[in-house]
Every structure is written in C-alpha cells, then in structure tokens.
C-alpha cells in the first residue's frame, strides 16, 4: 500500500511541476510549452494509473471512496487517456495509423487527419487534438492539475480513514 500511495504522490507532484512550467512559460515559438505539455499529459495519465494501483491493493472498505474519486477525475479530465495515447504513439498517429484512426482508414481513401495544438489564454493553457471526423479533444492544464490534486487527496483520505478505523477496532 505504501508503494502504491508513493506512486500516486510522485506522479501528482510530477503533473503539478509540469503544469507550473507550462503555465509560466514565455516560450514564443511554443516548443518548450509543447514539450512540457507532453510530459504533463504523461504524468497526468500516470496519476490515474497510480490511483488504479491503490484501488487494487487497498482494503475493500475504501473501494467505494476510491471509485468515487477516480470517477470524478475521469469526468473532469475525459481527454487524458486519449491525449496520452496520441503523444506516446505520435509515430503511428503522424502516419495515420493510430488506434483512433484505424477505423477511419476503412472508410476514407486517404490517411485520417491528425492535428494537435496548444493555446495559451494567459490564465490557462489548453492542449487540443483533432482526429478526422471525431469530436475535438481538449485538455485544460489548470483543470487537469486541480483534478489530479483532488484525486490524490481523496484517495489519501479514504485509505487513511480505513486504516484509522482498523486501528481503532484493534484497540
């Protein structure tokens, strides 16, 4: 359990650190910001993976609270898994052969379009991905960072509350 919680802590910290870099970047050409966004998205996905690990190893009594926290994260950051997939498999998506593009290959004569871009609003940075005819996917760095922090906090509370109840029961 301690190792699982440590993974959650480390990846949430990594996501927060990358978010700080992204949100404070003054990179005019977008190269630094885009690289940091890529690292942010990977860290964000690993926050979710670490949350799943905690769920697997946690006591059954904390499962409901962990599931609630995880579902809230998934609702707040629905594009996180797809964004990570596109970033990790950039070579396939660039060639029109990414997982989300494969079905489109059967219905189109040319390789499905794949574009991604970063928008800085001054208060937030959004990473967006467009893939052929699919709905535009967009991820707010500020919102995703808050969701990761909330996930880590809620899971930590659920696990420690369960441990406290077990300790009290054994006294």
Phi, psi of 107 (to 5 degrees): -105, -10
For helices 31-57 and 2-24, angle between their N-to-C axes, nearest 10 degrees: 160
Domain positions in the chain: 2-170
For helices 141-170 and 31-57, angle between their N-to-C axes, nearest 10 degrees: 20
Cα separation, 68 vs 46, in Å, equals 18
pTM of the model: 0.86
What pLDDT, in 10s, does the model give residues 16-63?
999 999 999 877 666 668 889 999 999 999 999 999 999 999 999 999
């Amino acid at each position: 359990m301690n190792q699982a919680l440590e993974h959650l802590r480390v990846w949430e910290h990594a996501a927060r650190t990358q978010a700080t870099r992204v949100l404070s970047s003054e990179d005019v050409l977008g190269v630094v910001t885009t690289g940091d966004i890529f690292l942010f998205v990977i860290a964000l996905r690993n926050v979710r993976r670490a949350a799943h690990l905690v769920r697997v190893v946690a006591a059954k009594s904390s499962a409901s609270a962990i599931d609630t926290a995880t579902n809230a994260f998934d609702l707040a950051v629905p594009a996180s898994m797809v964004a990570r997939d596109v970033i990790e498999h950039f070579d396939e998506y660039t060639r029109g052969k990414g997982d989300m593009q494969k079905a489109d290959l059967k219905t189109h004569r040319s390789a499905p379009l794949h574009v991604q871009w970063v928008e800085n609003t001054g208060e937030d940075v959004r990473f967006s991905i467009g893939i052929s005819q699919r709905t535009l996917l967009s991820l707010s760095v500020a919102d995703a960072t808050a969701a990761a922090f909330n996930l880590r906090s809620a899971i930590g509370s659920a696990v420690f509350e369960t441990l406290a109840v077990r300790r009290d029961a054994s006294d």
